[in-house]
Amino acid sequence: MRVVQEFSQEDIRISIFSWNNKYIIKFELGPMEQTFKLPETDVPDENDLKAFWTGDFFEKVKLRFKEMGQSFRAEVENL
């Protein structure tokens, strides 16, 4: 597995990997993570991956983290 890029944006850790002819895009926030896989053939240039941490897609990732966090906290409180 090759690490393409790793960085943080708005407290979310973003890691991009290349593995088995796929890009793996991983978003991490606290104890939660979201992972997306994309065939390398769908991406003409690695710089095109930037679309996943900008704009509407990234806004939805943040919203999903908010929902995940609420569910997680509710469940922990019920232990």
pLDDT for position 24: 98
In tens, the pLDDT along 37-48 reads 999 999 999 899
Burial of 32 (0-12, 13-18, 19+ CB in 10 A): middle
**Domain residue ranges in the chain:** 2-77
pTM of the model: 0.91
Task: Give residue-wise pLDDT tens across range 6-35.
Answer: 999 999 999 999 999 999 999 999 999 999
